[in-house]
Structure formats: C-alpha cells, structure tokens
Amino acid sequence: MAILDHVDPSEFTHKGWVAFCPVYITELDSGEPVVCERNWVPQFVLLFAGWCQQGAMWFLSSMFHEYDPLFAIKVTGKIGEAK
C-alpha cells in the first residue's frame, strides 16, 4: 500500500494513469509492463480501476466479438522529467 509503505520511484521509469489511478510504470517495452500505484494513493484505488477496465472489456467483448481486450495504460512522461 503506497500510503503506508512508500514506493521508491527510482525503481520505475515512467509515470501515468490506469483509468483514474495515478501509477508508476516500468518495463514498457515488454509485453507485460509493471504498474504500481503512486505514493499517497491507496492500493484499492488501483484494484478498483482494474475492475472497472475488466468490466468494460467484458461488456465490449460480449457485444462485439471481434473486440480484442487490452488494459489501457496512459503514459504521461518519464519520472523526473519537467513539463
């Protein structure tokens, strides 16, 4: 949980969003990026964001059989990079 056990951002390369949850991201070039909630965000927020995306993927794949379900991760920049 990022509220009590702070995440070390030096382990991650990028920052971004999973639905409405701010996250740290690493291993973007792999097929399975590692995602962790940012500091001061409870872990259940990331869990709930994942459930929301899974629900949307279930709905879309049941309505449109050609839909290819994938989790959406928005990358907003590199860690330590000024805007």
State pLDDT tens for residues 15-29.
999 999 999 999 998
User: What is the pTM assigned to this prediction?
Assistant: 0.82
Domain spans in the chain, listed from the N-terminal domain onward = 9-78
Residue 26: what residue type? T
At 79 the three-state DSSP class reads coil
Question: With pLDDT > 70 as the criterion, what percentage of the chain qualifies?
Answer: 90
Rounded Cα–Cα distance for residues 36 and 42 (Å): 11
Rounded Cα–Cα distance for residues 36 and 24 (Å): 5
Rounded Cα–Cα distance for residues 3 and 17 (Å): 17
Rounded Cα–Cα distance for residues 25 and 11 (Å): 9
State pLDDT tens for residues 11-64.
899 999 999 999 999 999 888 899 999 988 899 999 999 999 999 999 999 999
